[in-house]
Amino acid sequence: MLSPYTVLDLTGGRGDLASMLLGDMGANVIKIEPPGGSAGRREPPFMEGGLESERSLNFFAFNRNKQGITLDLESEAGRNALRALVKEADFLFESGQPKTLDSIGLGFDELKNINPKIIHVAISPYGWDGPHSDYAASDLTIAAMGGPMSVQGVRERAPLRISVPQVWLHTGAEAATAALTAHALMIQTGEAQFVDVSAQTAMIATMLSATSAHAIQGTDYQRAGALLQLGQASIPLVFQCADGYAVIAPTGPTLAVIVHWFVEEGLVPESWISGEDWPTYHFRLLQGQPISYPLDEVLEAVTKLAIRYTKSQLLERGLAEGVSLAPVNSVRDLAGFKQLEERGYWLTAPLPNGQEAQVPGLVVRMTETPMSVRSWTPTLDEHNNDVLGSVLGMSKEEISLASGVDAG
Amino acid sequence: MTTPLPFEGLKVLDLSWVVVGPTTAKYLGDHGATVVRVEAATPLDILRTAGPFKDNVPGFDRSQFFGEYNTSKLGISLNLKSPAGKEIAKRLIEWADVFIESFTAGTVDSLGIGYETARELNPSIIMVSTCLMGQTGSAAAFSGFGFHAGSIAGFYETTGWSDLPPDGPWVAYTDTVAPHILSASIMAALDHRRRTGQGQFIDASQLEMSLHFLSPQIMDYSTTGKTVTRIGNRSEFFAPQGAYPCAGDDRWCAIAVESEEHWEGLKSAMGGPDWALDGKLDSMEARLENHDAIDQHISEWTKDQDAKALMQLLLSHGVPAGVVQRSSDLETDPQLSHRSYFRHLEHQEMGTVPYAGHQFRIKGYDSGPRFASPVLGQHNEQVLRDVLRMTDDEITEAIIAEAIM
């Protein structure tokens, strides 16, 4: 689908997903690393054994469908090689400290002189310029400044982030959309585009209804555990079941079905079934209109019901009766989740340490231009000779100078 | 000369609801496409019934949860159960370049507006069906919200405190992952169509898109059997890190030490505290092991300090730090003001209200959003007259036939 395009990826662990998505869509992606490798190669978690530069599962996960080369941008030879690549490229992603490329003569103004149609995408914590653009940042501090932590967690403890780092994934995925938006603009104007992606604003987007809560309703939302906020009513979402937890949204459509299960289990009198117009229960709750059974009693029944079922029993019976009860899955549960298997989602990747890993497959299914994984993550310096030699026509000596690595 | 918009001239039929589909259509609309958002009055888009409501007064046209994802769209309330309503939907399919829907798998087929029909009406259409589990498989009909998919994907297991039940991310997490990926996919399909004239069908599963955000952990499990779980704000690899209490009501500052440089910076910001002087904590391993004790010392130091001043102090020592900002803080965040992030737009019922901006800026181009979200049925007449070019008589007939709610 994007096979006419070449993408240069200079990001170092803070935007790998952007070019991976374009690569899955068919683009020709070249990962350009500094001598010694991308900072992403040192990002945990790590696989067992293998070469130090190849151990990062994080790096492996987000660099498929890319060729990998090394360029020493501190040398003129390295910079010239990048200039030659830019000439033939359509997109360039970078995630260094803002203005780093400018300082070595490879800023947007220089790049667009080399290639008047280049899309230059710069990924950074807070944005390319502005009062916070030079702030030191990490996954945790950006999740804080972006806002989602203020509404996650329980009131009695600190605000909470998701334990698995998410910030650079949101930002990287958004950078793919940003790049293609800028490309559409380039098609209209014929001019190169500079795109400035801010991780902080990518995290604001995860605040959903809380984003403008204060400006709209006069108060911020407070963190209060896993709950569904319906107007002023807060309804818990996580219930303990026999072998773990499940997410159950006790709203009208769900209650209309599981009220029969309550009765079956003897948790409530049979009169409950006809004693309430269950499908509209939460609408009336939301609007403060009369309801037959108070929310407390309904929640007590849900709590007592859930503990009598296992996670998968809730899912399976729910599916059979058209109601959505979601197990709180671990990665182990996920590996056995039938739906993904049935859809042929998982791929198997050969890891550099000799093991095989199950990895997430194609992001979406397309009938005419199916996405594909054509190659797995490159090892350090793997395509120096292919790209710099075969494509740019550089000699071994020139490759050694440009990459800072002996090309033999 | 005004700068053209990236998707100027593009026509989008948005028959989706809640977050993922509407957000994706909004992207295209904010960047120039003409988007017709079709709503059925029953059942209403659930976001219209969820807060925050303007001035805390509930009302279907007062929800900014709905508003946020429906900017730069024309809104029409169509009765898809009436034959005349279906006829209008078909005319919109003929008109559109992109058709996005997010009903439970199979629903559009039973309404008679599935991909087969759409392709017959409009051979080069790009049709997108997005739902939690995808269009096929035994759980295809599992309909629900981002908290359901978030739970199945593993984001509940991995959000919370290790000694408490799963907490989960705020509301509907996978709804925040999918639009990035779905938008990029549609834009790529549009570029392919521009070059070849070929449309296609896109089957998007919110679960499948979101699992990439746990990809290293899934690989880790498949090779070592290690099961990632929730550990509060800590990291298995770096210490100390957390959100630490500050002066004031529920004010916190996040601090992350991810290297020895950060650790030296933290110690110097704290004025070289006695408890860290002996050098025993000068390794990541030692700090991971003594995280509780270190946290107590840091909290003792932070608890009476102003969160913003503390953040500045730490940053000046090279330590990543960030105030835990609430929506009220975002309103006055100078970096966001610099980026003109919030856009204040005039809404028919709510008056002037702020809308979140985009996560990126393109130099020399104002990415919007361009205009406020519609109240229910706001553009019924405009869509029929100007978009579908129906005559007055045809419009009257459609109204009599209960096509419009």
Tell me if A262 sits within 8 A of A305, measured CB to CB: yes
List the single residue in A with minimal CA-CA distance to B254. Answer: A141
pLDDT(B1) > 60:
no
Domains of chain B, residue spans:
11-213+339-400, 241-326
Residue A230: which pLDDT band, with cuts at 50, 70 and 90? low
Q: What pLDDT digit, counting tens, does each position of B110-138 carry?
A: 999 999 999 999 999 999 999 999 999 99
Alpha-helix residue ranges (DSSP H) falling in A190-265: 199-204, 213-217, 252-264
Task: Give the list of residues 6+ apart from residue B313 with CB closer than 8 angstroms, or none.
Answer: B269
Q: Where in chain A is the domain with CATH 3.30.1540?
A: 226-329
List the single residue in A with minimal CA-CA distance to B44. Answer: A283
The mean pLDDT of chain B is 96
Residue type, position A124, single letter: S
A402 to chain B nearest CA, in Å?
30
Task: Give the list of residues 6+ apart from residue A12 with CB closer than 8 angstroms, or none.
Answer: A33, A34, A38, A39, A40, A95, A96
Contact A196 B230 (CB under 8 A): no
The mean pLDDT of chain A is 95
- Residue carrying structure tokens 């051979």: B123
Tell me if A225 sits within 8 A of A154, measured CB to CB: yes
Q: Burial level of B189, CB count in 10 A (0-12/13-18/19+)?
A: buried
List the single residue in B with minimal CA-CA distance to A169. Answer: B213
Total Cβ atoms within 10 A of residue A219: 13
Task: Give the list of residues 6+ apart from residue A374 with CB closer than 8 angstroms, or none.
Answer: A65
Burial A312-350 (b: 16+ CB within 10 A, else e): bbbbbebbeeebbbbbbbbbebbbebebbeebebbeebe
Contact A331 B254 (CB under 8 A): no
Q: What pLDDT digit, counting tens, does each position of A61-84 carry?
A: 999 999 999 999 999 999 999 999
B294 to chain A nearest CA, in Å?
16
CATH of B241-326, one of 3.90.480.20, 3.30.70.2080, 3.30.420.40, 3.30.1540.10: 3.30.1540.10
Q: What is the pLDDT of residue A232?
A: 66
Tokens of A174: 């958004």
B353 to chain A nearest CA, in Å?
7
Tokens of B279: 């050098």
Cα angle A179-A181-A182, degrees, rounded to a multiple of 5: 65
Q: What is the pLDDT of residue B51?
A: 87
Q: In 3-state terms, chain B is what percent helix, strand and coil (to 5)?
A: 40, 15, 45
B351 to chain A nearest CA, in Å?
11
In this complex, how many residue pairs, one in chain A and one in chain B, have their CB atoms less than 8 Å apart?
Answer: 544
Residues of chain B found within 8 Å of residue A15, distances taken between Cβ atoms: none
CATH of A226-329, one of 3.30.1540, 1.10.510, 1.20.1730, 3.30.310: 3.30.1540
CB of A12 within 8 Å of a chain B CB? The answer is: no
Return the DSSP state at A276: S
Q: How far is CA A145 from the centre of its chain?
A: 18
Residues of chain B found within 8 Å of residue A44, distances taken between Cβ atoms: 236-237
Contact A322 B141 (CB under 8 A): yes
Residues of chain B found within 8 Å of residue A216, distances taken between Cβ atoms: 52-55, 64, 350, 353-354
Q: What pLDDT digit, counting tens, does each position of B232-282 carry?
A: 999 999 999 999 999 999 999 999 999 999 999 999 999 999 999 999 999
Q: What is the pLDDT of residue B50?
A: 86
- In the CATH hierarchy, which top-level class contains the domain A6-206+342-403? alpha beta
Give the mutation candidate from B337, B344, B360 for the A interface (greatest A CB count, under 10 A): B360
Residues of chain B found within 8 Å of residue A319, distances taken between Cβ atoms: 138-139, 141-142
Residue type, position A34, single letter: P
Contact A335 B242 (CB under 8 A): no
Contact B220 A57 (CB under 8 A): yes
Tell me if A342 sits within 8 A of A348, measured CB to CB: no
CATH superfamily, domain B11-213+339-400, is Crotonobetainyl-coa:carnitine coa-transferase; domain 1 (3.40.50.10540)
Complex confidence, ipTM = 0.98
Nearest to A3 by CA among A18, A30, A22, A17: A22
Q: What is the pLDDT of residue B331?
A: 97
Q: What is the pLDDT of residue B8?
A: 96
pTM above 0.95? yes
